[in-house]
Amino acid sequence: MSGEDKRTGSNLHVSRSAERVLSLLDTVIDRGAVALTAASTEAGIPISTALRHLRVLTNHGYLVRDEVGRYSAGPAFLRMALATFRSGPYARLTAAAQPELERLADVTEESAYLAVRDRDKAIYIATAESRRAIRHVGWVGRSVPVEGTAIGEALAGEPERPGIRPKPVFNTGAIEPDVTAVVAPVYGSAGILGAFSVIGPAERVVGDRLTLAARAVVDSAVSVSLALASA
């Protein structure tokens, strides 16, 4: 084998190892807390290899391992996540979106969320909860498929100029039974930046309340699109 072939083989090995590490990290973050066997199966990696990579991630603080052997996000990963919200495009997006999320929760009396796209998933990154006793909560940090969901349809749609009123997207039962989502995308100069959603019990988000939620979520999406365009 020539020196060039050896270098190529070495580079491929490093690349494959990096992909496996990232796949494991992605699996743990998606699952919240996961044991070795489940992580290796979901990531499609042999257990011995998965254990080696998980140990590296744990030693560097990206993951932590609890007393029963489950892995979850560690302080180094959280530090990176917080830094992302303090600076960069997500910081501007969430800062502009939070007042609108609060307004949506007040106007619709349902929980409001902001989500962004990550390849074939939508990630919920901010929220304002409904004040009702029965309400939808707990989706910040959660990922859902782009395909077959209202939030995914909005994020995968055709981008428009900031200020254009998007058509709201509706779905009931795609992720949780008896839950309705009303969604509208936020447009930026480079495409779709994210999407607002109002989520509540399907029996409550109907008729005039559904119409109100659709109008409110579109208003919020347009407001944030224009605010970011003028910043």
Where do the domains of the chain lie, and which CATH numbers do they carry? Answer: 3-80 (1.10.10.10), 87-230 (3.30.450.40)
Contacts of 106 (CB under 8 A, 6+ apart): none
Copy the structure tokens of residue 109: 């009396």
139: pLDDT confidence band, cut at 50, 70 and 90?
confident
With vertex at residue 36, the alpha carbon angle to CA 35 and CA 38, rounded to the nearest 5 degrees, is 70
Report the chain's mean pLDDT, rounded to a whole number: 89
For 58, other C-beta atoms within 10 Å of its C-beta total: 14
Report d(CA 180, CA 5) in Å as an integer.
56
171 CB-contact burial (10 Å; exposed 0-12 / middle 13-18 / buried 19+): buried
Res 9: pLDDT = 44
* pLDDT at position 5 over 80: no
105 CB-contact burial (10 Å; exposed 0-12 / middle 13-18 / buried 19+): buried
Q: Which range scores top for mean pLDDT: 19-23, 40-44, 102-106?
A: 102-106
* pLDDT at position 10 over 50: no
